[in-house]
Chains A and B, each alone.
Chain A
Amino acid sequence: MLKLQVSGHSSPEDSEQIQNELMRRAKRNERITFLLPFAGVLALIVLFTTLTGGQFLSVDNLKLLLNQCFSMEIVVIGGAFLYAIGGLDMAIGSVMALSAMVITLLFNAGLSLALSILAGIAVSVGSMCITAFVRNYLKVSPFIASMCVMNICQGLVLTIVAKLGVITFAYSRAAWIDSTLTKILTLVIMALLGYVIFNYTRFGKSLRAIGGNERAARISGIKIEKCVFGAYSIMGFALAIASLFSVIRGGTADTSIGNGMNLNVMTAIVLGGFPLSGGANAKFHAPMIGALMVTILTNGLGLLGYANSMGYAIKGLLFVTVVALTYEKSKGKLIS
C-alpha cells in the first residue's frame, strides 16, 4: 500500500511524488515480469543438471531437447503474433495435420519438396484465414470460429486417411531435414525474423495495440482487418513449417500430427508470461521461453525416471499458479 503523508490538500509536489512512486513500481513489475520466465528456465536447468549428475546438459540430451521443443518453438513464434491480438485458437493442431497431409501427399506423388512445402503453407494460411475472415466480417468470436476450422480440418484429414489408408512420408528422399543443423538454422532464422517484425515494424506494434484496445486502435487509424489477416497468416506459415518437421519426425500424416498442440501452445504462452489477451505487455520472447520451460520440465522429469503423468501434474500446478498471479483481472474475460 502506498503510504504518504498527505496534509489537508495535495500539493503539486505530492502529486509528483505519487506519480514517481507509481512509475517506479510499474517499472519494477515490468522488470520482474521480464526476468521471471528466464529465472524459471535457469532454475530448472540448474535443478535438473544437479539431480541428473550433469546428464541434463550432455550433448546427447541437448540434441533431444532441440528435437522435443523444436515444433512447439516454431508454432509459438507464429503464436506470438496471434496471441498479441488476443486470438485464442483451437484449430492449431488440426491445421498442422492438414498441412502435413498436403505436403506428404504432394511430395510422395513426385512434386519437389519446395513446391510441396509451398502448397502446405498455402493450405495452412488459408485455413487460418478462415478464422480471420469470420472474426473480421461475420463478427463471430475467433475462439468459436477456430473450433469450426478445427472440425473442418480434422474432417478433411480423416476423410483422406479413410480413403487412402496409412500415408507415410517419403523420409528416404528428405532425411536431411531431420538433421540438427537444419533445425537450428530454421529456428534461428524464424526467431530473428519474428523478433524484428514483432518489435520493429508498424505491423507488430499495431497487433499489440489491437490486443490492448481494439476500439482505440481503430480510432488511431490502424487497419484492424488487415492486421488480423496478417497475424493469422503468419501463424499459418509457422504451422506449415512445424508440420513438415513433425511429419518427418513422426513418419505418417494423420491426426496424430499436432495432437495436443493447442494446449501446449497455451501453456507455453502463459508460462512465458505472455498475456493471453495480448496487448502492450506482449513480449515476443515470452512464448519461446515458456515452450522451453515446458520441454525442460518434461525432459528433466523423464531423465529422473518419473512417468510422464507426473510431468503433467507438475505442469498443471505451475500453470494454475502463474495464471492466478499474473493474469490481469481488470482486463476482463479470458475469451473475448
Chain B
Amino acid sequence: MKRLLAMLLSVAMVLGLCACGSAQPKETEATQAATVSAPVVQDDSGNSIGGYKIGFFYLPESDGLSAQYHRALDFCAELTNCEMEYYDMMNWSAEDLSTAVETLIANGCQGIIMITGNSPALFQYMNEKGVYYTGMTRSYTDEVALVVDGSEYNCGWLDENSGMNVDMGYGVTAALAEKGCKNIAYVAGAPGNQMRDDRVLGIEKAAEEFGMNIVTSYRGSDFASGAADILATHGAELDGMVGSINGDVCIAAINSAGYADTIKYAQIDAPSAEETESYFRTGHIDAVTAGNNVFIVQSYMQLFNALSGADRLFNEGNRVYPMIPNFIVSDEEGWQSTVKYTAGDVPALTPDEILALNSLYTPDTTVEQKEALVEKYCSSEYWNLDSIVARVKDYLGEN
C-alpha cells in the first residue's frame, strides 16, 4: 500500500511540476534598460526577417558568465525577431553534451551555438537534421573537419588559436605584476583542453617576462581543495595567486587561510557581477577579464546570417573567423562600468554594430567590408573599456 502511494505521489509530483509552467519554452525577455529597436526588414515576399529558434547550452544562469551569455543572446534575439532556447548543463560528460544538442533540436531549434563539443557523430547528426551550427576552434578537430567541411550547415569557427586565451592569462598575471607580486601560484582546470592550456601558457609567459616566480600550481577539477592545499603548503611565501576558474572558491580559500591581506588575487573569469564588485571593494580581487560575452554575439550573427539567407561572412576555407578579445579590469570603478555598459542589458555591441554584420539589414556594404568591420571590432583601438563605454552610453542617450 505504501509503495503504491509512493508511486502515485511521484506521478502527482511530476504532474504538478509540469502544470507549473507552460508546455512551450519561455519567451525571451525584453531588455529593460535599453529599448531594443531595429528597422523591420522584409524579404522579397514581404515577410519580416526572423522567426528562427536558436539553441544554446551552458551552465545554469546562476553562474555569472552564463547570465551574461543569456542576456547577450536575448538581446540579439529580440533585435532580430528570433527566439532563444536554453539547455542548462549540470554535467559536462560526453553523453550530457550530446543529450543537450539532441534535445534542443527535438525542441525545434534551427541553429545551435556549440560552445564546446567535438563529436563528429553530433555534427553529422546536425547535418542530417538540417540544423545550422557554429562553434569554436577547440571543436574543430581533424575528425570533425571530415564531417563539417563543405557542409551548408557549418557557419564557422571562432578563432581561439589567435591567442585570446593566452592573452587573458597574460593580462591578469601582468596586472598582478604591476601591483608588485613576485611569488605567485595558479589554479586552473585539468590539462588537455586547448582553452585551459592556453590560459596557463599566458600565465607562465607573463610570469617569465615580469620576473615572477611560480611557486606552485594546481591543475584539476577540485579547485577548492587545490587552492586550499596550495595555501596550506606555500601560503606564507606567496604574494599573488591567479585563478583560471569560475566562481569564487579561490577567494574563499585565501580568506579562510587568513591570507586576504598578503596575497593579491586575479581571476580570468569573474564571479558574478555583484560579487566581483564587492570583492574589488574589499580588496579580495585585484584583476579580472571582461568582455567575455561578446563572442557569443558573433556566434549568434554567424547563425542568423545563414538562417536568414543573408551573405555569410568568413565563408571560405575552414570558415574560421576572428574572435573579439577580452580586456582586463583592475579596479571597482572599471568593473562597475563593465557591468553596466558591456555585460548588462546591452552586450558591449550596440544594435547598429550588430546589425552591420547582416546584409539584409545593411545591404549597402559588401561581404569584404563586413569582414573588415569584424577585424576592426577586434582591434585594441576599437575594443577597450573606454571606447566601449562611450559608444554604449551614446546609444543609451547618456552622453
Residues of A within 8 A of B (CB): 32-33, 36, 39-40, 43-44, 47, 51-52, 55, 60-61, 64, 67-68, 71, 158, 161-162, 165-172, 175, 178, 246-252, 254-261, 297-299, 302-310, 312-314, 317-318, 321-322, 325-326
Contacts and interface: CB of A to CB of B under 8 A. Distances in A.
Given A169-B143, A259-B91, A40 B7 contact: yes
A308 B89 contact: yes
A260 B94 CA distance: 10
Given A158-B220, A166-B192, A305 B24 contact: yes
Given A246-B94, A298-B99, A304 B18 contact: yes
B29 interface: no
A255 B221 CA distance: 10
B90 A166 contact: no
Interface of B: 2-4, 6-7, 9-11, 13-15, 17-18, 21-26, 60, 85-100, 102-103, 106-107, 117-122, 124, 141-144, 146-147, 190-194, 197, 219-221
A144 to B, nearest CB: 19
A299 B103 contact: yes
Contacts of A170: 143
Interface centre among B95, B118, B192 (most CB of A within 10 A): B95
A208 to B, nearest CB: 21
Given A251-B121, A259-B91, A32 B106 contact: no
Please classify the interface of chain B as helix (H, G, I), strand (E, B), loop, or mixed, using the class held by over half of its residues: helix
Nearest to A308: B88
Which 8 pairs of residues, A with B, have the shortest CB-CB distance? A250-B94, A161-B192, A251-B119, A259-B93, A305-B25, A302-B103, A162-B191, A171-B120
- In the complex, which of the residues B15, B60, B143, B147 has the most CB atoms of chain A within 10 Å of its own CB atom? B143
A47 B15 contact: yes
Given A68-B102, A308-B88, A171 B3 contact: no
| Chain A residues touching B, majority SS | helix
B93 A172 contact: no
B90 A47 contact: no
B143 A172 contact: yes
Contact of A68 (B26, B91, B99, B121): B99
A47 B14 contact: yes
A251 B141 contact: yes
Contacts of A44: 14
A308 B90 contact: yes
Contacts of B3: 32-33, 36, 325-326
11 contacts: A40-B10, A43-B7, A161-B190, A162-B190, A170-B143, A171-B143, A171-B147, A256-B94, A261-B93, A305-B26, A307-B60
